[in-house]
Amino acid sequence: MRHGIVMFTSDRSIAPATAARLAEEAGFASFCVPEHTHIPVRRDAAHPRTGDSSLPDDRYVRTLDPWVALSTAAAVTSRIRLGTAVALPAEHDPLALAKTIASLDHLAGGRVTLGVGFGWNTDELADHGVPPGKRRTVLREYIEAMRALWTADEATYDGDFVSFGPSWAWPKPVGDVPIVVGAAGTSKTFDWIARTGDGWMTTPGEGDIRDKITTLHRTWREAGRVGLPEVVALAGKPNLEQLDEWAAAGVTETLFGLPDRTEPEVAEYLHRLAGTLADR
């Protein structure tokens, strides 16, 4: 089981490049950042953790662009994987986003993992023209269209929300860009993953995930997928007994949150966390 770091980037935090370099030096396998293009002041959508329109952290309104952040991280690292936890592709033009991700993966030497979400903030999605009740369909079509651009010499796609004729688009990603879906562990989510994704990322505070992983594996097999899906678990404080249980259940990677602290404090936290995990 791999261990990675997720940083809630903002305009007041240490630089993502600095955090990624420190994480790589401490031996972590991945470095991830989130995405929100903006937060509408008036919202009908409740935040999953607060249950109402209030936000648990003001960094939601201060989040850096994930692809700019990860490009700076790519320039100062060589091994650590670079991912999103999570990005919101439905808020972008899929042809332009495909170019951005492919360019980053090309320049980073094939280190990009695309963690995606359907988007809890439906008001944010509405500002991007995503119709009510169509988040999952839009995301599926965008992912399929981007994969076509990443893999075909002459790509085409014809859907309800994105359509283009034979087109050239380079660079291509170095290899496959894994797509991990960050959403509640429900049958609906797992059906979507088995059809379109490469794995599941838990949501913050998700309960016992062992039975959910069993359901995901069954859904995966029933869909005719080979192997096993990636399972990325968002972790709090390191609980070694829980980590062993997760590994046995099929978790392939954990992500630990980075404190919003100074560079020396972040470096100390990472080395302390790495030491704790090495004791397993």
Q: For residue range 22-65, what is the model confidence (pLDDT) as tens digits?
A: 999 999 999 999 999 999 999 999 999 999 999 999 999 999 99
Domain containing residue 71: 2-279
Q: For residue range 81-137, what is the model confidence (pLDDT) as tens digits?
A: 999 999 999 999 999 999 999 999 999 999 999 999 999 999 999 999 999 999 999
Angstrom distance (rounded) from CA 30 to CA 8: 14
H-helix or E-strand spanning residue 179:
strand 179-182
**Percent of the chain scoring above 70 in pLDDT:** 100
Asked if residue 280 has pLDDT above 90, the reply is: no
Angstrom distance (rounded) from CA 183 to CA 88: 12
Q: What's the whole-number mean pLDDT along residues 9-24?
A: 97
Number of domain units in the chain: 1
Angstrom distance (rounded) from CA 85 to CA 67: 12
Q: Please return the burial class of 162, using the count of CB atoms within 10 Å of its CB with bins 0-12, 13-18 and 19+.
A: middle
Question: What is the DSSP code (8-state) at residue 275?
Answer: H
CATH of the domain at 163: 3.20.20.30
pTM of the model: 0.97
Angstrom distance (rounded) from CA 107 to CA 109: 6
